[in-house]
């Protein structure tokens, strides 16, 4: 199965750029997520962590 895929990919010009783009997207996403986690305020994290426990809107329906 892999030889069919590899054979098709060898015929496409410029296909070697796709793994590089995928790695860059992956790296940028996790660096941004890492930065957001360390710069988030404690008040915001506490507010978001209590959202699942807030049943007031569910009981009003």
One pLDDT digit (tens) per residue for the chain, 61 residues = 667 777 777 787 888 898 899 999 999 999 999 999 999 999 988 988 888 877 765 555 5
Q: For the chain, first and last CA: distance in Å?
A: 53
Rounded CA separation 18/12 (Å): 11
Domain layout of the chain by residue ranges = 18-50
Q: Are 54 and 48 in contact (CB under 8 A)?
A: no
Greatest Cα pair distance, the chain, in angstroms, is 61
pTM of the full structure = 0.58
């Amino acid at each position: 199965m892999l030889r069919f895929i590899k054979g098709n990919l060898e015929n496409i010009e410029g296909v070697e750029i796709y793994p590089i783009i995928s790695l860059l997207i992956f790296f940028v996403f996790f660096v941004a997520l890492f930065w957001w986690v360390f710069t988030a305020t404690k008040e915001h994290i506490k507010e978001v962590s209590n959202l699942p426990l807030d049943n007031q809107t569910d009981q009003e329906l």
